[in-house]
Amino acid sequence: MTAPEPSRTAGACVLAVLGGAALAVVFALSSEAGVLTVWAVGVTAVWRAARRPVSDSSAPPPPGEDRPSCSECAGHDFVSVTPSETQKGMLIYKTSPPDRPNHTHIHFVEGEVNQA
């Protein structure tokens, strides 16, 4: 039988208690030093959070080569792609759902339009 892994929450609680105890000692020695310590920790935390890069994990995937991907057009048959006449640089992707062949799902996507 393997030993259970310690909880990350338990480790965070231990660190919070140790940090609080250290801060209490600083406040006991000097209230001004305690206030400066709280400010320094807060500014450091905000600075680190601002410098951290934003994760792309929640961003939708980029469209594929032949057509855009969305939850509505998953499994649709590709019909055509044409450049928009009214908006330069926009492409119109048309797909058709297999259960409704006369219905067309349209996407307007910005992209490079190569007209020959």
pLDDT digits (tens, 9 = 90+) for 59-88: 555 555 555 556 666 677 777 777 777 777
pLDDT at 77: 73
Q: What is the mean pLDDT of each run of 10 residues along the chain (116 residues)?
A: 78 93 95 95 94 68 54 70 73 75 67 49
All structural domains of the chain with their residue ranges: 9-51, 77-110
State both tokens at 111: 């992209």
On average, the pLDDT of the chain sits at: 77
Residues constituting the chain: 116
Rounded Cα distance, 90 and 112, in Å: 8
